[in-house]
Amino acid sequence: MFLSADEIAGLATPADYVDAVRSGYRQRGEGAPAEPRTALLREDPAGMFTDYSALLPDDGVMGGYTYSAGFGSGDAWFMTPLYDADSGAPLALLDGASMNPLKTGAAGAVGVDELARADASELAVIGSSAQAHGQVQATATVRDLDTIHVYSPTPESRESFAADLDADLDASVSAVESSAAAVTGADIVITATSASEPVFDSDNLDAGTHVTAMGQYHPEKRELDTAAIERATYVPDLRGRTTQDAGSFIAAVDAGVVDSDHIHAELGDVVAGTAPGRQSADEITVFDSGGTGIETVAAANMLYERAVEQDLGSELDFAPASEALYGE
């Protein structure tokens, strides 16, 4: 089955994505295999070709994400193959662009649900992209948000983004003029930026705050300063990322303020109950979300099952190797 971006767009709510992704991370915590991204870079024309994968045994599926971004067109394409984990046969190919903010937002929301205080109601958002919107939409399904403060460097962008959120959500949403104004007093902080350097001063974090950092996956780029990592109970999506592309953590290690023992657990371990989540009201927690095949495969399978129920999609023919190579 091939599913287009338009077909995918209306298939599921943010809460549906969160439920599917939570199950995926539980399976990871119970031993499901998943690998961090591989990124191939080109300088001229500048671009990145990326892939990552996961196998979810309880769902009976496996697959991943392959996408290109930049190069000559300056655009991006997201392809999501889904396979049957029992037979190995392909099930679907999804145009993954429209699901991207929602499945990534769902991973952030699972982190919030496991690590933020149960009474968290004030949210700070740094960034105003589609990814930031997906994070807020998903987070609003796991916490009763009263107030949302939005900051991004361009006034027009943050004002427009805040207005869109205000129309979508019950919370009071406003744009603010600095990251400090957004972060101070917040119960939850979401960073969804393309910044190379820290986007707020961790001195502005109150005790008990949860931070989801999802905008950077590059060893030399970071959204959080070293003090934020040092102060926090640190939970990555995949432990393998912490030496590969978790730039905020790598910078803290290079500065000598933490080492690998500072990694509390993977998110899947917390969801599966093999590691504790938040342990005190005053604890600062960080979920470092760089994107994995876990949320991708979980979301793709959920969308595939709904498409089957609704008779959506078109058929593509793939020949098994026994037929294509050997004529069997």
- Burial class from Cβ neighbours inside 10 Å (0-12, 13-18, 19+) for residue 202 reads buried
If we measure between CA atoms, which residue out of 239, 235, 211, 237 comes closest to residue 225?
A: 211
CATH architecture of 2-100+293-326: 2-Layer Sandwich (3.30)
Note the pLDDT of residue 151.
Answer: 97
If we measure between CA atoms, which residue out of 237, 245, 268, 242 comes closest to residue 253?
A: 242
In whole angstroms, give the CA distance from residue 328 to residue 321. Answer: 9
Those residues with Cβ within 8 angstroms of residue 201's Cβ, 6 or more apart along the chain or in another chain: 179, 180, 183, 225
Judge whether 178 and 151 are in contact, CB under 8 Å: yes
If we measure between CA atoms, which residue out of 321, 242, 326, 227 comes closest to residue 287?
A: 242
pLDDT over 80 at 80, yes or no = yes
* Assigned token pair, 99: 């699901």
- Burial class from Cβ neighbours inside 10 Å (0-12, 13-18, 19+) for residue 318 reads exposed
DSSP lists the bridge partners of residue 94 as: 3, 80
State the Cα torsion 13-17-19-25 to the nearest 10°.
-170
Note the pLDDT of residue 216.
Answer: 84
Domain with CATH 3.30.1780.10 in the chain: 2-100+293-326
Instruction: Tell whether pTM > 0.85.
Output: yes
* Assigned token pair, 134: 């997906």
pLDDT over 90 at 233, yes or no = yes
Q: How confident is the model at residue 30 (pLDDT cuts 50, 70, 90)?
A: very high
Task: Report residue 306: phi and psi, to 5°.
Answer: -70, -35
pLDDT over 90 at 102, yes or no = yes
Q: Rounded to the nearest 5 degrees, what angle is found at the Cα of 175, between the Cα atoms of 173 and 176?
A: 125
Note the pLDDT of residue 215.
Answer: 85
Note the pLDDT of residue 219.
Answer: 87
CATH architecture of 112-288: 3-Layer(aba) Sandwich (3.40)
Domain with CATH 3.40.50.720 in the chain: 112-288
pLDDT tens-digit profile of 177-206? 999 999 999 999 999 998 999 999 999 999
Note the pLDDT of residue 218.
Answer: 87
- Length of the chain counted residue by residue: 328
**Mean pLDDT rounded to a whole number for the chain:** 95
In whole angstroms, give the CA distance from residue 62 to residue 90. Answer: 9
CB burial string 22-58: b at 16+ within 10 A, e below? bbbbbbbbeebebbbbeeeeeeeeebbebbbbbbbee
Query: Which of 193-197, 276-280, 283-287 shows the lowest mean pLDDT across its residues?
Result: 193-197
